[in-house]
Chains A and B, each alone.
Chain A
Amino acid sequence: MGYNCVVLTKQVPDTKAVTAKAMKDDGTVNRAALPAIFNPEDLHALEEALMIKDQYGGTVTVITMGPPNACNILRDAYERGADRCILVSDRRAAASDTLATSYILSCAVRKVGDFDIVLCGRQAIDGDTAQVGPQAAEKLGIPQITYLEELVSLNNNHIVVRRNVGNGWELVQSKLPVLITVIDSANVPRSPAAKRIMKYKKARAAIEVKKEIAGENNADDPEIAKQIEQKCNELKAKGLLIEHWNLDDIDADLQWCGRDGSPTKVHRIQAVVLKGEGHKQFEPSEDGVRELVHELIEEHTIG
């Protein structure tokens, strides 16, 4: 039997490519100065889904919420093996915090419908909150298992996962459907595949087609609108039209979306510089080691 997997992904600024221009004067991220990439741990979530498909069959659907250029990671997902990719994009979703984002994504997952496993990366490298996955599970009303390091077994609608809890691991069993967040030691993401690259490099969402064809001109001009429609139909016939859902498409309640749905307020931003605080020596003896361990426990470094 197969399992239908839905992978929630995010396009993020590449924080490894940080330069002096990475921060605006007001302390927020200057997204234009950083290349946009597939959030690294989301690639591990996608790989886990593809491995489930390879072994058991089923489908892999990838959803991302973001501006139209987030289609770049959807094309990447197609090239690595996704069956279906959906862009959730709507101006009214701008400024969503994790609560609003997880609400919108859960609406999109509901619209996809017949799913067994929802997979997310543990966290995104821009916000590092690790909240969207768990919150989406709550909103979908399904169990969640975070920090998947190994999928131990999957059968009879039950899944067993080894989750990494930092200083050890737990084996957790859940019934399906379930939401899982994946960490980077879970697997090695496969490369995009050559033939899929050759095909899916041409995939576009209608909103991209509109921009490419209309350019600076008025997209409502009948001649241009016709061209856009024609191109979209062509793409659709070839399976290359990336689905684009707005908030109405996914029946989202607008009061839970965007700024209105986001209780998070940035109160203050503080630059923290970590400094070394000198060092302490211990005798290389039984007593010395005991003393060291004791101190580490007291400081909650271990234990």
Chain B
Amino acid sequence: MANFFTDNQDIVFNFNTLDLKRLADIMEDGYRFSKEYDYAPEDAEDAVDNYRRILTMIGELSAEFIEANAEDADREGSHLQPDGHVKYADGIAKDLDMLAKAQVMGFTLPYRFGGLNCPNLIYSMAIEIVSRADASLMNIFGLQGIAETVNAYADEEIKQQYLPQFADGKVTGAMVLTEPDAGSDLQAVKTRAYQDENGNWYINGVKRFITNGCGEVLLVLARSEERAGGLGLSLFLCEKGPHVKIRRTEDKLGIHGSPTCEIFFEDTPAKLIGERQRGLVTYVMSLMNGARVGIAAQAVGIAEAAYAVARDFAASRKQFGVSIDQLPAVRDMLMEMKIAIEVSRALLYECCWAVDHERWYLWQTESGKITDKDKLKEVKNESRKFKRLAAMLTPMAKYYCTEMCNKVAFDAIQVLGGSGYMRDYPVERHYRDARITNIYEGTSQLQIVAAVRGVASGTANKAFDEFSAMDWPEELKDLNETLKSSAAQLADTLPFVKQQGTEYMDLYGRKIVDVACDIYLGYLLLRQAKHSERKQAVARRFITTATPRISANCDLIKSGDKSTFDQFDTIVGKVEQE
């Protein structure tokens, strides 16, 4: 049986070398749940064994069932019926039925709502595996952050009502945020929420580009207050029904299996999630951060799928008397693709690690369980550290993985040449599916704005110092020195950037984040290299090629060149007004 978990040596390597027992300890809180739920693990070993078995099951389901449906789902797409109902592609409907039966639609939800209580890291592995089979299915399977948001912020009554249905796969959800005039800028949301004399909430307005907007449970961002801006917005839960009208589904470049809906809310009954005014600033930010990690995982999955096709093709396609993977140019492309996927995966898991720890330390500080003063101080410090790290790594991973995915899918077609451009091979689908990943849940440009703050504030360099101070074996010491001097180069450019002001920082944001990513990834590979000789070769190759790139980027950042502002009108010119 084919299996997208067990056949993927790099995921398995990560699974075996990351300290998953530590994550299990965090999630299982002393393994107290096993007394109440017969499927909850009794100890760390039991929990990690569960993770492995769940991923093995999903790996087989993805490789044997979901992937076989993917091409047809892409061709068929989803369709708005005359009665206002959205029909999923046949393959997607079958996949969802299978996933519900496989009990994986409440991946991270607590046991008490029927969930699997898995850490984010394991969920991200699962998302990658599913996305490799069908990227568009991820937009429903990977939307479990909606249930997570309900779990984190809604009243107990709402949780009891909806979360078991999510876990059973009886309902799916949608994040209903975007409007025609509020995309990246969600503070401009116009959809209104009002209360009747009995205090019941209702929603009016139009939402656009809503992934799985035909889902049964909608989390809607709406203006509940008279004031403008983000603090006028609250988050509501609406159910699919006669007051929710799907007006159209979009005709898109890729992810055809995932319906993208325009929704008209007409006096739709709604329930307030959490507190008023915290809709955007707290809940949606948290929801979006979870979704960003999910998209990063989706991107790695698409890249893996495209690479696998390219790798096989290059080994069997003969030109000039040899298989084309013998030709230097193709060989180099394949190697770059392979390394790009592995470093992206390492960054994704590092990010998940930080997110899982951030949540745990936050929960510990808020639970009131820790009474010892020194202990509490220590936990609070850890909490702050992981909060800062997650705030930087989430946009970094989203940015890096999705850009990587586009590049790998692009190059996969290149390896296949004319055949890759044809629909006979799946790489053209991977390429189309890849294109949305660096757009939705915040474009790359927005991720950079978020990530560069973390780099500029010293979070990145602090992490580099910690890496650098680790105990490195003799054969890796030179690489640590190389990375150390690159980190010093970055540290050296930051004061200059800050001096130039915010606009300059945003102008060179991408370069700054690229440098930080290159160094971070170098360290992640170096850490992996402790466990395997192959990874030593990967680390050496990556750091060797990254070092001149880092220097060049630093030079450019420090150049002070502001021609993008100064010469825009001269070079680009103005748009002619009619």
Interface residues of A (CB under 8 A from B): 188, 190-199, 201, 238-239
| Stretch among B95-103, B328-336, B536-544 lining the A interface | B95-103
CB-contacts of B104-147 with A (<8 A): 104, 114, 116
| Stretch among B50-58, B317-325, B395-403, B486-494 lining the A interface | B50-58
Q: Known: A198-B41, A199-B39, A238-B38. Contact between A191 and B98, CB under 8 A?
A: yes
Please, how many angstroms separate the alpha-carbon atoms of A190 and B102 in the complex? Answer: 8
List 16 additional contacts besides A190-B102, A194-B102, A198-B116; criterion CB under 8 Å: A190-B98, A191-B61, A191-B101, A193-B101, A193-B103, A194-B104, A194-B116, A195-B39, A195-B114, A195-B116, A197-B53, A198-B39, A198-B40, A198-B41, A201-B49, A201-B53
Please, how many angstroms separate the alpha-carbon atoms of A93 and B103 in the complex? Answer: 38
| Residues of chain B contacted by A192 (CB below 8 angstroms) | 57, 102
Please, how many angstroms separate the alpha-carbon atoms of A191 and B1 in the complex? Answer: 13
Q: Known: A190-B98, A201-B49, A238-B38. Contact between A195 and B103, CB under 8 A?
A: yes
| Residues of chain A contacted by B102 (CB below 8 angstroms) | 190-194
Least CB distance, A82 to chain B, in whole angstroms: 14
- Across the two chains, which residue of chain B brings its CB closest to A50? B101
- Across the two chains, which residue of chain B brings its CB closest to A17? B1
- Across the two chains, which residue of chain A brings its CB closest to B47? A198
Please, how many angstroms separate the alpha-carbon atoms of A193 and B104 in the complex? Answer: 8
Interface of B is mostly: helix
- Contact check, A194 vs B40: say whether CB atoms are below 8 A apart: no
Least CB distance, B54 to chain A, in whole angstroms: 5
Please, how many angstroms separate the alpha-carbon atoms of A195 and B103 in the complex? Answer: 7
Please, how many angstroms separate the alpha-carbon atoms of A201 and B65 in the complex? Answer: 23
Cβ-based interface call for B358 (8 A): no
- Per the CB 8 Å criterion, the residue count for chain B at the interface is 20
Least CB distance, A42 to chain B, in whole angstroms: 16
Least CB distance, B165 to chain A, in whole angstroms: 15
Least CB distance, B155 to chain A, in whole angstroms: 26
Please, how many angstroms separate the alpha-carbon atoms of A238 and B42 in the complex? Answer: 14
| Residues of chain B contacted by A201 (CB below 8 angstroms) | 49-50, 53
- Contact check, A194 vs B65: say whether CB atoms are below 8 A apart: no
| Residues of chain B contacted by A199 (CB below 8 angstroms) | 38-39
Please, how many angstroms separate the alpha-carbon atoms of A194 and B141 in the complex? Answer: 15
CB-contacts of B47-82 with A (<8 A): 49-50, 53-54, 57, 60-61, 65
- Contact check, A198 vs B50: say whether CB atoms are below 8 A apart: yes
Please, how many angstroms separate the alpha-carbon atoms of A194 and B103 in the complex? Answer: 5
| Residues of chain A contacted by B60 (CB below 8 angstroms) | 191
Least CB distance, A93 to chain B, in whole angstroms: 30
- Contact check, A190 vs B101: say whether CB atoms are below 8 A apart: yes
Least CB distance, B63 to chain A, in whole angstroms: 12
Least CB distance, A145 to chain B, in whole angstroms: 26
- Please indicate which of the listed interface residues A192, A197, A198, A238 has the most CB atoms of chain B within 10 Å of its own CB: A198
Please, how many angstroms separate the alpha-carbon atoms of A188 and B54 in the complex? Answer: 20
Q: Known: A188-B65, A199-B39, A201-B49. Contact between A194 and B54, CB under 8 A?
A: yes
Least CB distance, B353 to chain A, in whole angstroms: 22
Q: Known: A196-B103, A198-B50, A201-B49. Contact between A191 and B57, CB under 8 A?
A: yes
Please, how many angstroms separate the alpha-carbon atoms of A173 and B231 in the complex? Answer: 67
- Across the two chains, which residue of chain B brings its CB closest to A193? B103
- Contact check, B50 vs A197: say whether CB atoms are below 8 A apart: yes
| Residues of chain A contacted by B94 (CB below 8 angstroms) | 188
| Residues of chain A contacted by B101 (CB below 8 angstroms) | 190-191, 193
Please, how many angstroms separate the alpha-carbon atoms of A196 and B49 in the complex? Answer: 14
* Chain B 24-39 per-residue mask, 1 if CB under 8 angstroms from chain A, else 0: 0000000000000011
- Contact check, B39 vs A196: say whether CB atoms are below 8 A apart: yes
| Residues of chain A contacted by B41 (CB below 8 angstroms) | 198
- Across the two chains, which residue of chain B brings its CB closest to A54? B101
- Across the two chains, which residue of chain A brings its CB closest to B167? A195
| Residues of chain B contacted by A238 (CB below 8 angstroms) | 38
Please, how many angstroms separate the alpha-carbon atoms of A181 and B94 in the complex? Answer: 25
| Residues of chain B contacted by A197 (CB below 8 angstroms) | 50, 53-54, 57
| Residues of chain A contacted by B54 (CB below 8 angstroms) | 194, 197-198
Nearest first, the 9 closest Cβ-Cβ pairs linking A and B are A198-B39, A199-B39, A193-B103, A194-B103, A191-B102, A190-B101, A195-B39, A191-B61, A195-B103
Least CB distance, A78 to chain B, in whole angstroms: 12
Please, how many angstroms separate the alpha-carbon atoms of A222 and B151 in the complex? Answer: 51
| Residues of chain B contacted by A198 (CB below 8 angstroms) | 39-41, 50, 53-54, 116
| Residues of chain A contacted by B53 (CB below 8 angstroms) | 197-198, 201
Please, how many angstroms separate the alpha-carbon atoms of A292 and B215 in the complex? Answer: 56
Least CB distance, B94 to chain A, in whole angstroms: 8
Please, how many angstroms separate the alpha-carbon atoms of A196 and B103 in the complex? Answer: 9
Least CB distance, A35 to chain B, in whole angstroms: 10
- Please indicate which of the listed interface residues B102, B114, B116 has the most CB atoms of chain A within 10 Å of its own CB: B102
| Residues of chain B contacted by A195 (CB below 8 angstroms) | 39, 103, 114, 116
| Residues of chain B contacted by A239 (CB below 8 angstroms) | 38
Least CB distance, B404 to chain A, in whole angstroms: 30
Please, how many angstroms separate the alpha-carbon atoms of A195 and B57 in the complex? Answer: 12
Task: Please name 24 pairs of A and B residues whose Cβ atoms are closer than 8 Å in the assembled complex, sorted by A.
Answer: A188-B98, A190-B98, A190-B102, A191-B60, A191-B65, A191-B98, A191-B102, A192-B102, A194-B54, A194-B57, A194-B104, A194-B116, A195-B39, A195-B103, A195-B114, A196-B39, A197-B57, A198-B39, A198-B53, A198-B54, A199-B38, A201-B49, A201-B50, A239-B38
Please, how many angstroms separate the alpha-carbon atoms of A145 and B38 in the complex? Answer: 39
Please, how many angstroms separate the alpha-carbon atoms of A193 and B39 in the complex? Answer: 11
Please, how many angstroms separate the alpha-carbon atoms of A194 and B94 in the complex? Answer: 18
Least CB distance, B1 to chain A, in whole angstroms: 9
Please, how many angstroms separate the alpha-carbon atoms of A174 and B101 in the complex? Answer: 30
CB-contacts of B508-541 with A (<8 A): none
Please, how many angstroms separate the alpha-carbon atoms of A239 and B98 in the complex? Answer: 26
| Residues of chain A contacted by B38 (CB below 8 angstroms) | 199, 238-239
Please, how many angstroms separate the alpha-carbon atoms of A239 and B49 in the complex? Answer: 20
| Residues of chain A contacted by B39 (CB below 8 angstroms) | 195-196, 198-199
Least CB distance, A112 to chain B, in whole angstroms: 24
Please, how many angstroms separate the alpha-carbon atoms of A198 and B57 in the complex? Answer: 12
Least CB distance, B186 to chain A, in whole angstroms: 34
Least CB distance, B554 to chain A, in whole angstroms: 47
| Residues of chain B contacted by A193 (CB below 8 angstroms) | 101-103
| Residues of chain B contacted by A190 (CB below 8 angstroms) | 98, 101-102
- Across the two chains, which residue of chain A brings its CB closest to B41? A198
Please, how many angstroms separate the alpha-carbon atoms of A289 and B102 in the complex? Answer: 51
Please, how many angstroms separate the alpha-carbon atoms of A190 and B169 in the complex? Answer: 14
Least CB distance, B141 to chain A, in whole angstroms: 13
Least CB distance, A51 to chain B, in whole angstroms: 11
- Across the two chains, which residue of chain B brings its CB closest to A16? B1
